[in-house]
Amino acid sequence: MSLVNAYSQSLPQQSSSASNTSAATKSSVQTNTTTTTTGNVFLDSIRLPEESAIPEANDQMLQQEDFFALLSQQLSMQDPFEPVDNDQMIAQMASFSTVDGISNLNDEILNLNTVMSSSQALQASSLVGRKVLIPSDTGAISTESPEIKAVISTPSAIESITVRVEDASGQLIKSFNVDGSEGGNVDITWDGLDKNGEPVEAGNYAIKASGKVDGTSEDLAVSTYAHVASVSLGTTATGAILNLRGVGGIKLSDVLAVSET
């Protein structure tokens, strides 16, 4: 009986020892997991924060895999006595393929527009330093360009065309006549001198033209040449923009002609 008692009394001691060992293990684990400071207040304040995992945003757009998953669910849940018609299933697959193809085509068109815009801007850069004809009757006088060249468009032959030069306020600076008997486009040049033969100040001036068409005096369309100072890329909708000296910007597609000088 004493042996049995001794053995039974030794059990709590082993249990206590195991409990102490487990507590020590837990304590060491807690110490290892919670030891995140150095003991120095300054160093602890400048330590980098622990990185936290940020879940990625879920893509809400349905992909081709989602469509086939839905189609598989539809086939598995269909009524065996009234299965999905083959033509209907093929029509669904064709519709999805069409939508997917249109989406890919839109992406390709956007890429093509970007490439074309860059190519157009590269081509337009060759116009820097040259003069272009624009559909505007306003030209610029400056030290670099002391005269204005223009083109008068006539619907028919006109014996005499009256040309008026006006400043920004609409005041008449000079008037002269040109021959329009050949009809069509008539090239003219204003030398930048007023009616007294004095050079005008730098600025913008309008070239107005009129003549008798079938016995009636009519205003004629005038286009002027402008100096290309630089080129802007613009947008996909506008294309390349030509920055004209003293005039402003104009789309490359609006240019009527290009001059050597």
Quick: pLDDT tens for 26-84.
444 444 444 456 666 655 665 545 555 555 555 566 666 777 777 777 777 777 777 76
Three-state secondary-structure class, residue 257: strand
Residue 84, in any domain of the structure: no
In sequence order, which residues have a C-beta less than 8 Å from that of residue 257 and are 6 or more positions away?
A: 132, 133, 151
Q: pLDDT value at position 241? A: 87
Token reading at 93: 């697959």
**pTM for the whole thing?**
0.56
- Tell me if 196 sits within 8 A of 81, measured CB to CB: no
- Tell me if 256 sits within 8 A of 135, measured CB to CB: yes
Low-confidence ranges of the chain (pLDDT < 70): 1-64, 84, 86, 89, 99, 113-118, 236, 261
Q: pLDDT value at position 36? A: 57
Q: pLDDT value at position 3? A: 40
- Tell me if 177 sits within 8 A of 160, measured CB to CB: yes
Q: What is the CATH number of the domain that holds 195?
A: 2.60.40.4070
Residue 48, in any domain of the structure: no
Q: pLDDT value at position 119? A: 73
- DSSP character at residue 170: -
In sequence order, which residues have a C-beta less than 8 Å from that of residue 187 and are 6 or more positions away?
A: 149, 150, 151
Q: pLDDT value at position 188? A: 93
Residue 12, in any domain of the structure: no
Q: pLDDT value at position 253? A: 84
By residue count, the chain amounts to: 261
Residue 82, in any domain of the structure: no
Residue 5, in any domain of the structure: no
In sequence order, which residues have a C-beta less than 8 Å from that of residue 123 and are 6 or more positions away?
A: 240
Backbone CA torsion sign across 23, 28, 32, 37: positive
Q: pLDDT value at position 40? A: 62
Residue 241, in any domain of the structure: yes
Q: Residue 93 half-sphere exposure, CB side, CA atoms within 13 Å?
A: 12
> End-to-end distance of the chain based on CA atoms, in angstroms?
127
Residue 221, in any domain of the structure: yes
Q: pLDDT value at position 223? A: 95
Number of domains within the chain: 1
- 251: domain range? 128-259
Sort strands 184-190 and 241-244 into parallel, antiparallel or unpaired.
unpaired
Q: pLDDT value at position 63? A: 66
Chain Cα centroid distance, residue 131: 28
Three-state secondary-structure class, residue 233: coil
Residue 59, in any domain of the structure: no
